[in-house]
Structure 1
Amino acid sequence: MSRRQVNPSRRFADSGNVPLASSLQSKSPSSPYLTVGLIFVGALLLLGYSYSGSGGFGARKLAFRRVEGDFSCTTEVQRAIPILKKAYGDSMLKVLHVGPDTCSVVSNLLKEEDTEAWGVEPYDIEDADSNCKSLVRKGIVRVADIKFPLPYRAKSFSHVIVSDALDYLSPKYLNITLPELARVATNGLVIFTGYPGQQRAKVAVISKFGRPAKLRSLSWWKRFFVQTGLQENEAAIKTFEQDAVQMSYNPSCQIFHLRSNH
């Protein structure tokens, strides 16, 4: 049986041992040194908290969020949009994003000059905000199961960006979905996936994805790309990495730049 901790002061009061209680009370006033120390520690904690918001301890804060399950490669796409635009230049004209929270990505892409943006949401959007519902009504964002052929003609988009979607598919369905994503892209397919060891979804929301995320290694993905007739776009990789360094962008996801062999 578990035992509940007893409050010592209550025990003393119940025992009627008044002299002992009074002697404890006589020693209770805090030392001025202790008070000053507590104030100093509190100031350090406040400083550390404010510093974490501007960088500094940001890495620890991000690591904590990953453990809690808030980590998202779709959020990473939002950060990478300026680098992608710079790396691909004028060829990035009509973009399809595939993944959860695609409404946010599409909204950001639409703010880019001379860029059309469309989205496919593979999961349910019951809690979508008014902006997302408006994009769905206009047909800019579609809700579709990516385990089946996409509702677009071949080469409908200059680029296809996918995030937080392939990690939840088994190899059986990846063999269908990955070539399908490449089919509708003219100039390139950009994939954002998590690193092995990153927790991607809390147990409470796993049912939304149907299964826990399967985070694969770099070597696993490279082998799979070859098996599915895709090859990495070395020129795009080099340009993207150079632009990322110039813009101080350090990705938290694996990013693959692909092109179809067909």
Structure 2
Amino acid sequence: MTIMRRRGRPLPRPGVLITAALALFCSAFLVLPAGAAPVPYEDCPANTLCLYSGPAGTGERRDFTDRQGVEGYDAAWDDRTLSLRNNTKLWACVYVDAGYGGLLQTVSPGNSDDYAGGDARWVNTISSHKPVPSRAHCFTGYERCPDDRVCTFTQERGRGPMTAHVPATDPVTGNLGNSYGATAAPRSVWNRTGRHVCFYPEPAFTGTWTDGTGRTYGAYVVLRGDSTTVPAPFAGSFRSHELVGGTAECQ
């Protein structure tokens, strides 16, 4: 048998090299633990938004379809989400307040998000979410308002808790509309009726506002079909509104 030598050391035969390589390849599989940890979020089903009570897809899981928008979680889940997987083809909008209000995070289709180790404002504070076709839809909540209603919202751009007002005729004033207390404090409005809406600072469809220049206003008008974020000095001060055929009918 002939053995080739280089620098005084024998070279192994080709068959020896192949055997050694196979041994190394097999040993790579043998060192893997039998109970290897699963990949984070891999348990989230297709077409599902999965919320987790722990970081990186751990803890208890809540599943929602790609058509389920939730304005407020039940008491057992509210303020518990610490991570999520958006395993849908839609954007996921996540909010710290009920009614799609407060701070907002957007999660693109197929991605995940972890809130446990970042901004403290997101740790155990998430209270609502909705799936939408584009990221722009995350920034408004007007779509909740039903037909033939005046809807008022506690936050800008139709976000936050919503009140859908059912018009009624006031027995004293005869105004067709609604009167409400300070707790409503609307900051945005969608008028989905066929009439214009006149808002007032007093419950009896009266009162005036004065702005920083000294000008006085007797009503804040939202035309039929319009939605708006209410500016100062009107924001948060509406106490009643009436439906009218023309803006000249405002008090």
Query: TM-score band, normalised by the shorter chain?
Result: under 0.3
| TM, length-normalised to structure 2 | 0.26
Higher relative strand content? 2
* Larger relative contact order, structure 1 or 2 (CA cutoff 8 Å, min sep 6): 1
More helix by share: 1
Q: Between Structure 1 and Structure 2, whose CA radius of gyration is higher?
A: 2
State the TM-score, normalized to the length of structure 1.
0.25
